[in-house]
Amino acid sequence: MLVKAKQIPRKLVTHGHERIDPYFWMRDRENPEVISHLNAENALTKAVMAHTENLQNQLFEEMKGRIKPDDSSVPYRLDNYFYYSRYEEGKEYPVYCRKKDNLDQPEEIILDVNILADGKPYCEIGGSTISQNHRFLAYSVDYQGRRIYTIHVKDLETGELLSDEIPEITGNMVWALDNQTLFYSKQDPVTLRSDRIFRHLLGTSVLADVQVFEEKDETFYVQVSKSKSRQYIFIHSSSTLSDEVCYLDSTNPTGDFTTIIPREKEHEYSVDHFGTDFYLLTNDQAKNFRLVKAPLTAPSRENWTEIIPHRADVLLEGIEIFKDFLVLDERKNGLNQIRIMPWEGEGEYYLDFPDPAYSAGVDFNPEFNTQVLRFSYQSLTTPASTFDFDMVSRKRTLLKQQEILGGFSSENYRSERIYAKAEDGTAVPVSLVYHKDTPKDGNSPLLLYGYGSYGYSMDPYFSPARLSLLDRGFIYAIAHIRGGSDLGRQWYEDGKMLKKKNTFSDFIACGEHMIRAGYTRKGKLFCMGGSAGGLLVGAVINMRPDLFYGAVASVPFVDVVTTMLDEDIPLTTGEYDEWGNPADKTYYDYMLSYSPYDNVTNSAYPHLLIISGLHDSQVQYWEPTKWIAKLRDYRTNNNRLLLHTNMDAGHGGASGRFESYREVALEYAFLLDLASSDT
């Protein structure tokens, strides 16, 4: 059985360079032939993987069986209420609840997403926010997976939905302090770029909503937020390398917004409020960011007071402000750090963490006048954990650790942090986890995961689903390659724009090191990545098709040049500072030199499974669809080339608590089946 895509050659000319794209026709999602082709690809995948259906079902039931069916989150306090979410056994979606005054009081259900999702193939809550008086809940919902939401407002006193319904928004919204005014962001209907902020007054028509801000620069996105103090509403315009924040006193929702620091090229900053000052996390004269305060009445640079200076070896990632303490989220040597600093007196200190590779960070802390910090922690062997930490007594209290059913014990697993040497001599960190009984004799299968874009750091995290691989003898490794910020801002800058190929060569070096160090061998090495990590997978298997025996690419960004030339596609214009603008021939040529779709050659490609979503607004479905068709045309072997497109979902895959694990089960069955073959 073979799916053969028809070819309709289309000539694409840029900078005098001619490219022929035989699959350009696949971009029309309204074309019945496109849908028929996607269905045929799905049928092929199902047929080829039919012999693994029992394994897929077993994996799915395993993954589902590790999850506590009636789990709940740790309640957080906001004024006189405790808010939390919980799941009911046998249901896919969360129930949002609260209790007044203390946790012994009766539960009030404020939103049951299972009711919203009833009878719908997809349902996602984009955001929710409670009014200052705790009477009104505004929430946004998407029923397609394209991240186009509708706002609804619920009166929590009566339990009724108000007539206020705001369609086609981004899901981002905040309340003003009057409990009547809602600010929200709206996107361009074609590119889906968030470009406008509106003000809505409860009880009035959406047609009467006032546009309070428009972002006309097509490389910027805009969102609305509120200071922790709740005194100020912020409009944040941001591109890859620049920010501009405007503010408004939340007690005066019909007032005008004022700019804090006008946008400048390559000046990134974020803002919070404390007392008589704004606090700015800024990269002004600080590659790894520094913290300054600025008077509310005159926040310009000449009035800044430095609180935390720049450090070449520490990336300052975030702050949390309390009445008596400042808490910093930092990153050093690729690992998270939490730093506690009293506003008055001496005695700053860091929290300590036990594992060689872990993920830790400040959690949601809406209360200002408290000495208790809530933080989260997990590692490759430790399930997600939530702690309260008394910053005065330094007592750490574990509130909840994700309960993993089925006899899980962290003692059965081992983690390591090692380094691979890139081709330019750079040491690249790799985090590994494996079952204690898995031999490190060079014969175990190993899955190497990577991302390496946008400055996103790939922290070592715990995955209940991953246990299904580890328990079957797989070693799992995360390559902390350049393009992320794992080792600071320079680590990011050395893996973007005209240095993007460092990301790919770093990953290849990590794969080679896994073999050289005796963790695995040729024929047992696999790779995986999603979105920009799918670009990574595509580029790597073009550069070194011999290195990996199998690969999984989820919603992969692989048609780089054509996408970046099309300003009508979502995300394109906002990403020029990440990849470059192909209108400039220098960047066009460089992108063309690594774009996975454009660099498919006559090679013996590894086995490949691609996961896609028809309604994906970030990586359009046609990119992976075109890619696999071209791979079939050029590959010189008969390895599996499979595409599974979720026809009811977008970039994040299936919605619901358990359904998303069906795609994970397919991916793992693909890997396990290949690993079981003698190569």
Active-site residue 633, yes or no?
no
> Annotated catalytic residue: which of 531, 554, 612, 655?
531
CA-to-CA dists, residue 609 to 480, 540, 667, angstroms:
23, 15, 7
Round to whole Å and give the CA distance between 270 and 282. Answer: 7
- The one-letter code for the residue type at 481 is I
d(CA 519, CA 420): 13
Catalytic residue among 243, 272, 616, 673: 616
Q: Quick count: other Cβ atoms within 10 Å of Cβ 679?
A: 10
Query: Which spans in 231-336 are helix H?
Result: none
616 among known catalytic residues: yes
Alpha helices in 108-231 (DSSP H): 113-117
Find the farthest-apart pair of alpha carbons in the chain and give their distance in angstroms, rounded: 73
Residue 260 to residue 245: CA distance in whole angstroms: 6
- Burial class, 411, CB count within 10 angstroms (exposed 0-12 / middle 13-18 / buried 19+): exposed
Cα–Cα distance list, 412 to 52, 407, 442, 467 (Å): 27, 10, 20, 11
Q: How far is CA 476 from the centre of its chain?
A: 20
List 651, 655, 660, 673, catalytic entry: 651
The H or E element that residue 50 is part of is none
N- to C-terminal Cα separation, the chain = 24
Identify whether 73 is a catalytic site residue. no
DSSP character string of 380-391 = SSS--EEEEEET
User: What is the dihedral sign for C-alpha 36, 38, 41, 47?
Assistant: negative
In degrees, rounded to 5, the angle at the alpha carbon of residue 149 between the alpha carbons of residues 269 and 563 is: 65
Q: Catalytic amino acids?
A: 531, 616, 651
